[in-house]
Amino acid sequence: MYDFLRRLPKAELHLHIEGSLEPELMFQLAERNAITLPYTSVEEVKAAYEFDDLQSFLDLYYQGMAVLRTAEDFHDLAMDYFRRAHAEGVVHVEISFDPQAHLARGIELNVQMEGLGRARRRAERELGVSSALIMSFLRDRPAEEALHVLEQAAPYWETLDAVGLDSAEYGHPPSKFREVFARAKALGIPRVAHAGEEGPAAYISEALDLLEVCRIDHGVRCLEDPVLVERLRQERIPLTVCPLSNVRLKVVEHIDDHPLPKLLEAGLLLTINSDDPAYFGGGVLDNYLACARAFDWSRQTFIQMARNALNVAFMEEDRRRALLKDLESIPLED
């Protein structure tokens, strides 16, 4: 099953590039930028990766990204991830990044965009990995700030494949960002949003109704609302599910308890993703393998998961057709 799943041409739709920062690279960038980390070794960093909830992870997440200072740092961060993803059979990556978290540290938007853009072009040229870029807004910061960042990004609107909504969910409903997402819609930029991870199913409905998103990141708590489940099924709204993330952040206690089988049984449009691979136990392939061990899914089910991701990814249609053709050529038997 490992070889089969590695061969599958997979798309990663839910990936926070700051969450791909491996401890080894963290120390390298800290040394490059003369930053003193509150850790003395890679092992000590990894020992801190025991989270009680989403907020305890976010505290470490924001601390780690302090090493990102220059365009070269953002380039190296993204390329480090692209290389690992390519080795796992990932052919397309949708990179979410958090501009507010960097602007708050005095890192200008052009620095972020230059580094990530250069890495994306290099990954396509050298690895054959295509990508999309999602500018995510931090829901625990003021909506007015998010709107200002969107306007500040005017020189880059044409390079944004979507805007998103992430960070601490409790107490920050999607409705808070209605004006920001309306502005993105007016600009013709697609919208996605985290909802129904730690927040209730009602947040998913809000994201659909008020933000007019085309995709829900996580969405696992939709099962609390049967009417919502039926809506998601009928409207074919994709859910970018991140099983290992849900375990590490205590959304579920064990992978065996994950609602993925129930979501699949309900006929929902599901994709498997890694979220923050450096912190949550691995990339897309590790998440596929975790599902194989926990749910004993057939190869056909995994092919369908990979097909779903390719079908709903932000990519050129010629690229989509080529990748789907590659997927259909994967034999079901060794």
Q: List, for residues 68-92, the tens digit of each pLDDT value.
A: 999 999 999 999 999 999 999 999 9
Separation between Cα atoms, residue 307 and residue 187, nearest integer Å: 29
Task: Write down the pLDDT at residue 11.
Answer: 98
Which three-class secondary structure state does DSSP give residue 96? strand
Neighbours of 16 (CB within 10 A): 26
- Whether 76 and 123 have beta carbons less than 8 Å apart is answered as no
Task: Write down the pLDDT at residue 36.
Answer: 86
In a domain, 106, yes or no: yes
* Residue 41 amino acid letter: S
DSSP 237-284: -EEEE-HHHHHHTTSSSSGGG-SHHHHHHTT-EEEE--BSHHHHT--H
Task: Write down the pLDDT at residue 44.
Answer: 80
In a domain, 334, yes or no: no
Task: Write down the pLDDT at residue 42.
Answer: 82
- Which residues, 6 or more positions from 3, have their beta carbon under 8 angstroms from its beta carbon? 334
Separation between Cα atoms, residue 106 and residue 62, nearest integer Å: 14
Going 118 to 19 to 193 to 176, the CA torsion angle's sign is negative
Which three-class secondary structure state does DSSP give residue 95? strand
Q: What is the CATH number of the domain that holds 45?
A: 3.20.20.140
In a domain, 41, yes or no: yes
Task: Write down the pLDDT at residue 52.
Answer: 67
* DSSP 8-state assignment for residue 155: G
- Whether 219 and 207 have beta carbons less than 8 Å apart is answered as no
Low-confidence ranges of the chain (pLDDT < 70): 51-52, 334
* Residue 136 amino acid letter: S
Range of the domain at 101: 2-328
Convert the pLDDT of each residue in 196-218 to its tens digit.
Answer: 999 999 999 999 999 999 999 99
Residue 158 annotated as catalytic? no
Task: Write down the pLDDT at residue 280.
Answer: 84
Task: Write down the pLDDT at residue 64.
Answer: 80
Can you say how many angstroms the Cα of residue 288 is from the centroid of all Cα atoms in its chain? 15
In a domain, 333, yes or no: no
Q: Is 154 exposed, middle or buried (0-12, 13-18, 19+ CB in 10 A)?
A: exposed
- Count how many domains the chain has: 1
In a domain, 286, yes or no: yes
- Which residues, 6 or more positions from 173, have their beta carbon under 8 angstroms from its beta carbon? 199, 202, 203, 206
In a domain, 208, yes or no: yes
Task: Write down the pLDDT at residue 279.
Answer: 85
Which three-class secondary structure state does DSSP give residue 313? coil
Task: Write down the pLDDT at residue 107.
Answer: 97
Of 169, 143, 156, 62, the C-alpha closest to 115 is: 156
Q: Is 231 exposed, middle or buried (0-12, 13-18, 19+ CB in 10 A)?
A: middle
In a domain, 20, yes or no: yes
- Which residues, 6 or more positions from 205, have their beta carbon under 8 angstroms from its beta carbon? 225, 228, 231
DSSP 24-91: HHHHHHHHHTT---S-SSHHHHHHT---SSHHHHHHHHHHHGGG--SHHHHHHHHHHHHHHHHHTTEE
Catalytic hit among 197, 206, 316, 317: 197
In a domain, 107, yes or no: yes
